Structure 1
Amino acid sequence: MTEQALRLGTRGSKLAVAQSGLVADAVSQVTGRPVELVKITTYGDTSREQLSQIGGTGVFVTALRDALLRGEVDFAVHSLKDLPTVQPEELALAAVPLREDPRDVLVARDGLKLTDLPSGARVGTGSARRMAQLNAYARNHGLDIETVPIRGNVDTRIGYVRSGELDAVILAAAGLNRVGRIGEATDFIPVDTILPAPGQGALAVECVAHDADLIASLAMLDDPLTRIAVTAERSLLNALEAGCTAPVGALADLPPVLDFARDGEGSQADGQIVKEMRLRGVVGTADGSTLVQLSTTGPVPETHDQAMALGRELAAEMLAKGAAGLMGERAH
């Protein structure tokens, strides 16, 4: 007798279905049970307003969470960057799978790279974070570009370039990769130029908190380093009291560091690669005239609380440098 299928709640967009399908396959492998996708329309999918105008925090998440709490689906998959930073007690963040490429990419006409954009180029983005950092980069490098606010799915956004309405758009590398269109990117934007959104490139797998068996199964998909990194990033976002549409970028990564440790005799042992965590954060005005950008590096946090503390500490430094006055949206 075939076991009853697990129901996975997902947004209905091509990207959401693609990334939920990846999770569904992984869950089937670890549980031995079939998984069926249940498409759910969210307010963020139906509204055509800019996310900053509809209060971006949770607009892609609430309908999925409501379906979980009503028992209409067994678990749900979100883009982690869309999740509000405070986790509801009745829901468990059961897994944060291995993160995709967190960078942003440029999709431009004629194969142009960011530094090749001509004077007056129109660049579309739906993100205040990207707009702030792109405008700052343009100011610092003498680029004459115009940033244009846009909405829509991957097809719609790239369509603005193909039709000639825009010269380029900026998208997340992870999203393009998951829908098999990363080959259309004309430039990978370094994180030193545009820091990604907190949690960008990562997925969140959620279920009700009382389903211990399902939590245990989903936890097999969890990548501990990804979870620690995004916890630090989201802690920074939370401490800044910023919504997910505020112009905040954050990235925790693990750059290798050469450690010339000394052995017990006091002589230098062979250099070995050890891991530290670097957390970077940025807040800026939409026109790019002012940015507060700071970073900190230390041992990789071993616990959730340590990762949270790392984010709070960097946020405190950013607030002391004037970050609060640069954010267009404050959380409520």
Structure 2
Amino acid sequence: MSRYADAGFPQARPRRLRRTPAMRRLVAQTRLDPAELILPMFVKEGIGEPQPVPSMPGVVQHTRDSLRKAAHEATAAGVGGLILFGIPQAKDERGSAADDPDGIVQQALRDLTADLGDATVLMADLCLDEYTSHGHCGVLTPGGEVDNDATLERYASIAVAQADAGAQVVGPSGMMDGQVAAIRRALDGAGHTETAVLAYSVKYSSAFYGPFREAAECAPRFGDRSSYQQDPANAGEALREVRLDLAEGADMVMVKPGLAYLDIVRRVADEVDVPVAAYQVSGEYAMVEAAAANGWLDRDRAIMETLISFRRAGAQLILTYWATEVARRLSES
């Protein structure tokens, strides 16, 4: 409770600090900065031109060349980081393209490292769902279950391949038990002690991933991912996952999705002293774009309101498909 007694109306008039845009900017308690934004980008092998994603207006599957152009634009706008998701031409049971030195993400990382240097932070999503023929995030047992421990070996190999190609941050997103420890050991053993781990520590089994699965061509061929992603009904479990990942060596932690889990973002931010990221996922993006296209809401205001809500809840980093657009808008204002 405040030690100051409120004088009450008419002496107290909170509206005095809301009268003009300049006044509201002056006293704003939460701010967005372009450097806090991370742009998710899809790069697809074997295409000659960018392919629009129908369920995500404005988002494309990039060629290597168009990825380079878009990365330059994001960096020039002041976006703080880029995270890559790859779509290979060939998929198999173990996701062999994920750690192939000539895999699409590794090629793209080398391109962007040569182009951008340290102008932005290059990140790579570390998972298997985009690369496996069955669409799950790990290696399967003969009975069709995801084999946690066998998957850790694959994640370790992918981490080294991504770091070799220039990733400054790897983002394990498969929600396997022990994944951060396996990745940290592999990176350190390969001499990549400076490569950071952004752990998808709190990743819920959500309905809001649908458009992403179209963009990354990674919908499961059978079943779903609820056996390894978290139950939306559980909150305390999220903190346990965060504590485990930090104990295993995570440098940053993420909550995904963001908008439906702002309470979790707040609890995680209150719990830890490392950077906390929130992922504004594809379904959240698609909802705003679809509603705006139908004239049901003000697109620009809705975008900024959702992003500020992540910052207000405690996220220091925000992954959003609007990163470049918003960074430009913030710079202009």
* Same fold? TM cut 0.5: no
Higher strand share: 1
Higher helix share: 2
